[in-house]
Amino acid sequence: MTQTSDRYSNRTYRRLKALKRIGLYAGVTLVLIYMLFPYYWAIISSTKTRESLYSFSLVPSLDFSNYISLFNNPIFMGAIVNSAIIAISSSVLSLVISLLAAYALGRLHFKLSRIILICVLMISVFPQVVVLSGMFEVIGWLGFYNRPAALIFSYLLLILPFTTWVLTSFIRDLPVELEEAALIDGCSRMRILTHVLLPLMGPAIASTGLLAFILAWNEFLFALTFILTDENRTVPVAIGLLTGSSRYEYPFGQIMAASVTVTLPLLILVLIFQRKIVAGLTSGAVKG
Amino acid sequence: MASVTLKEVSKSFGAFDVLQSIDLTIEDGEFIVFVGPSGCGKSTLLRAIAGLVPVSKGDVFIGGEQVTDVPASKRGIAFVFQSYALYPHMNVARNISFALETARMAKAEIRQRLTRVADMLKIGHLLDRRPKQLSGGQRQRVAIGRALVSQPQLFLFDEPLSNLDADLRMEMRFEIAKLHAEIGTTMIYVTHDQTEAMTLADRIVILNHGRIEQVGTPRELYDRPANRFVAGFLGSPRMNFAPVHTDTSSGLLHGPSGFVFATSGTGSSQPVTLGLRPEALEIVEAGTAQSISGTFERAEDLGYEHIAYVRLSDDLVWTIRSTEPLSGHARGQAVGLGWQIKDLYLFNEAGIRVDVEAARGPVVAVQS
Ligand SMILES: Nc1ncnc2c1ncn2[C@@H]1O[C@H](COP(=O)(O)OP(=O)(O)OP(=O)(O)O)[C@@H](O)[C@H]1O
Ligand SMILES: [Mg+2]
């Protein structure tokens, strides 16, 4: 016999359930406000005139003069193009390299693979400042200084450990028998990678590629150090160096407008790939 | 079509010897089944033949040619995996034709072969589907189709039916047997289902701890097991065993109470274990001459057969199988188990079967 004497009535349990649901939604709303407020604030500020900027208001005033002056700023527009080129090439390049590395590390069993993986993980632990001066030297030797190549090259160092790690664990999760079947079907290692594994790795590629892109798109320290002239700047630095009409004016509205503008492509990408990102990140995590 | 020869094939993973000096010859066109307990190395042996794992020692010959170092794709084999290993992102047609596509075969020829295989396996209506839109049995057919299309000289199956339910398993078993009868290609089939082994095999190879225990036709293995392991492995329910000892003065073999058997005397191959299959036993009145005494435990009615359990001692329960109902005895009731000398198996210290006729003494078993 189960104990039934010390329970509430059914109605009480129903009310409790309703109460819990209200609590849940209240909590979710709070968290959402906490996370989204900075973006909202940036959007509002970017549409305020210079005069109203310092008055507190939560409604946007829909004044787009900041955006207009921003899009007429050749340095900023150039920076967007630079950023796009650099972010796309470094994320594509790192995907290609890390895919090859991940296949070797995840599948072809050789003694060093464990050690290499641990090294890769350790590299990703170093703070950027640590590698900054060494990287500066290397870029000098290669003659990349003040060129987009400097950033593409140095971003690989930031991105590769992470993409290699994620793709390796993803490849390890794919059934070995699939590859054995392909081997028997006469495939070379390269054909296995391109025709069997790659099509199955869509989610992983999308998520790691996107995160790599975001990393490169938002990077500031290397971009500030390795680029000297305005026409080669990337967006984060260009925003930081935006100037107002006079030396003493801080162009807050324009900076906000610029931030909103450069976040937009990221948001769109994230929304497009949202499903795949979640699938890619969890499949590695849950099974690995 | 090809014969397969293994010469002293060994395989170790680190210090762990999975296969130990396997010698085996498989004739052209034979259907060979590898059976053995889980972890005995069946899959590893099959993979070694396929070239998916390199052997540590020894040589593999297919069709008389040494292929020990030849890559899997060049051995002229096809492999059907337990998990089917169909390419999830390709439809059935491409799954089947992928090997031909990889070999750069002409489109027309690919289509022709695909159609033939699809007809043979009755999967023509599934060609546009992805593997995940197929049932287990259909996936199995596609996997076999993928193996068939490259017209291999040797088929390797690793537990192909173990993911299917009982009905489908029986149906596919029949299909595989039919396929072998039609194309006559040499097939090696790994399973741990002894029904599959007994029904499909021309010859069965029984493996245990990376060694071959016995090779022979299903009948041979069942009737004349080389040793205790083989005797206990084939048969369901498994063979009943009991320890025996020889009384050196009288030459009588003593076993479970009531069991007496006269041996020819002493020797190196003294039996230490006796075996009787469940279907060789018969429940008789307690105290019947020549019967082994025990107490009735329980009966099971499976409809087509009947199983009873009889306790011989505290730690020994024997199984009796019959086509006749075995109920009608109360739990704990004393009963006798009748048996015949022709059904008796004896095993020596090393587990090797001792020929009962040779071990039999001049005195026919007497009652004690
Ligand atoms: N790559 C490997 N590394 C180390 N040990 C392995 C490897 N592959 C197999 N083994 C070991 O070799 C032994 C035999 O494995 P195998 O897969 O051949 O067994 P099996 O007879 O097919 O068993 P099952 O019936 O469970 O499929 C097992 O003990 C297994 O743990
Ligand atoms: Mg196995």
User: What are the tens digits of pLDDT across the range B184-230?
Assistant: 999 999 998 899 999 999 999 999 999 999 999 999 999 999 999 99
With b meaning 16 or more CB within 10 Å and e meaning fewer, what string describes A58-68? eeeeebeebbe
Rounded CA separation A227/A189 (Å) = 40
Q: Is the pLDDT of residue B368 over 60?
A: no
For the stretch B155-168, pLDDT in tens is 999 999 988 888 88
pLDDT digits (tens), chain A, 288 positions: 567 778 889 999 999 999 999 999 999 999 999 998 988 888 888 887 776 766 777 777 777 888 888 888 888 889 999 999 999 999 999 999 999 999 998 887 777 888 888 888 888 888 888 888 888 999 999 988 888 999 999 999 889 998 998 899 888 888 899 999 999 999 998 999 999 999 888 888 888 898 899 999 999 999 999 988 888 899 999 888 877 666 667 778 888 888 888 888 888 888 888 777 666 555 544 433
Q: Residue B263 is encoded by which pair of tokens?
A: 């041996």
Residue type, A2: T
Q: Tell me the torsion sign for CA atoms A136, A138, A141, A143.
A: negative
Residue B340 main-chain phi, psi, to 5 deg: -125, 150
Residue type, A247: R
Please tell me the least confidently modeled range out of A97-101, A244-248, B140-144, B247-251. Answer: A244-248
- Superfamily, domain A66-287: MetI-like (1.10.3720.10)
- The verdict on a CB contact (< 8 Å) between B87 and A183 is no
Selection from A129, A134, A209 nearest residue A164 by Cα: A209
Q: Which residues contact A240 (CB under 8 A, 6 or more apart)?
A: A220, A224
- Number of residues in chain B: 368
Write down the pLDDT at residue B365.
45
Cβ neighbours of B186 (radius 10 Å)? 25
Q: Is the pLDDT of residue B367 over 50?
A: no
Q: Residue A115 is encoded by which pair of tokens?
A: 């050690």
The residue whose CB lies within 8 Å of the most ligand 1 atoms, and thus the one to mutate among B9, B10, B20, B43, is B43
Question: How many angstroms does the Cα of residue B49 sit away from the middle of ligand 1?
Answer: 15
Closest atom of ligand 1 relative to the B37 alpha carbon: 25
Q: What is the mean pLDDT of chain B?
A: 91
Burial bucket for residue B268 (CB in 10 Å: 0-12, 13-18, 19+) = exposed
Q: Which residue of B has its CA nearest to A176?
A: B85
Write down the pLDDT at residue A40.
87
Cβ neighbours of B145 (radius 10 Å)? 25
Selection from B38, B45, B41 nearest residue B188 by Cα: B45
Selection from B285, B330, B326, B291 nearest residue B312 by Cα: B291
Rounded CA separation B279/A275 (Å) = 60
**Starting at the edge strand that comes first in sequence, how are the strands of the sheet with B282-285 ordered?**
B282-285, B334-338, B292-301, B306-313, B316-322
Provide the whole-model pTM. Answer: 0.82
Selection from B342, B239, B327 nearest residue B283 by Cα: B327
> B141: part of which helix (H) or strand (E)?
helix B136-149
For the stretch B83-137, pLDDT in tens is 999 999 999 999 999 999 999 999 999 999 999 999 988 999 999 999 989 998 8
Q: Residue B11 is encoded by which pair of tokens?
A: 């395989």
Where exactly does CATH 1.10.3720.10 map onto chain A? 66-287
Write down the pLDDT at residue B269.
67
Residues in chain B with CB shorter than 8 Å from the CB of A185 are: 73, 98-99, 102, 146, 150
Selection from A125, A127, A218, A192 nearest residue A165 by Cα: A125
Cβ neighbours of B17 (radius 10 Å)? 16
Q: What is the DSSP letter of B309?
A: E
The residue whose CB lies within 8 Å of the most ligand 1 atoms, and thus the one to mutate among B11, B34, B35, B42, is B42
Q: Highest mean pLDDT: which of A270-274, A284-288, B252-256, B345-349?
A: B345-349
Q: How confident is the model at residue B265 (pLDDT cuts 50, 70, 90)?
A: low
- The verdict on a CB contact (< 8 Å) between A185 and B73 is yes
Write down the pLDDT at residue B224.
95
The three-state DSSP-derived secondary structure of chain A is: CCCCCCCCCHHHHHHHHHHHHHHHHHHHHHHHHHHHHHHHHHHHHHCCCCCHHHCCCCCCCCCCHHHHHHHCCHHHHHHHHHHHHHHHHHHHHHHHHHHHHHHHHHCCCCCCHHHHHHHHHHHCCCCHHHHHHHHHHHHHHHCCCCCHHHHHHHHHHHHHHHHHHHHHHHHHHCCHHHHHHHHHCCCCHHHHHHHHHHHHCHHHHHHHHHHHHHHHHHCCHHHHHHCCCHHHCCHHHHHHCCCCCCCCCCCHHHHHHHHHHHHHHHHHHHHHHHHHHHHHHHHHHHHC
- The verdict on a CB contact (< 8 Å) between A199 and B89 is yes
Q: Residues lining ligand 2 (ion), CB within 5 A? A: B 43
Q: Which residue has the higher pLDDT, B48 or A254?
A: B48
Whole-number Cα distances in Å, B66 to B32, B78, B193: 20, 18, 31
Rounded CA separation A152/A131 (Å) = 15
Decide: A284 and A169 in contact? Cβ < 8 Å.
Answer: yes
Size of interface A-B (CB pairs under 8 A): 51
Write down the pLDDT at residue A124.
80
Write down the pLDDT at residue B345.
94
Cβ neighbours of B174 (radius 10 Å)? 12
Rounded CA separation A107/A100 (Å) = 11
Residue that is written with structure tokens 């993409």 in the block: A163
Q: What is the CA radius of gyration of chain A?
A: 25
Q: What is the DSSP letter of B279?
A: G
Write down the pLDDT at residue A69.
84
**Starting at the edge strand that comes first in sequence, how are the strands of the sheet with B203-208 ordered?**
B77-80, B154-158, B186-190, B31-35, B203-208, B211-216
Write down the pLDDT at residue A286.
41
Write down the pLDDT at residue A287.
35
Q: Residue A175 is encoded by which pair of tokens?
A: 């059934």
Nearest Cβ partner for A175 among B79, B85, B150: B85
Write down the pLDDT at residue B99.
94
Per-residue pLDDT, averaged over B74-90, amounts to 93
- The verdict on a CB contact (< 8 Å) between B81 and A184 is no
For the stretch B104-109, contacts whose Cβ atoms lie closer than 8 Å and that sit 24 or more positions apart, written own/partner, are: none
Rounded CA separation A96/A88 (Å) = 12
Nearest-5° Cα angle at B320, B317 to B325: 130
Rounded CA separation B316/A123 (Å) = 63
Write down the pLDDT at residue B226.
95
Q: Residue B280 is encoded by which pair of tokens?
A: 């060789």
Decide: B225 and B354 in contact? Cβ < 8 Å.
Answer: no
Q: Which residue has the higher pLDDT, B288 or A58?
A: B288
Rounded CA separation B320/B326 (Å) = 9
Closest atom of ligand 1 relative to the B44 alpha carbon: 18
- Left (φ > 0), alpha (ψ -120 to 50) or beta: where does A77 sit? alpha
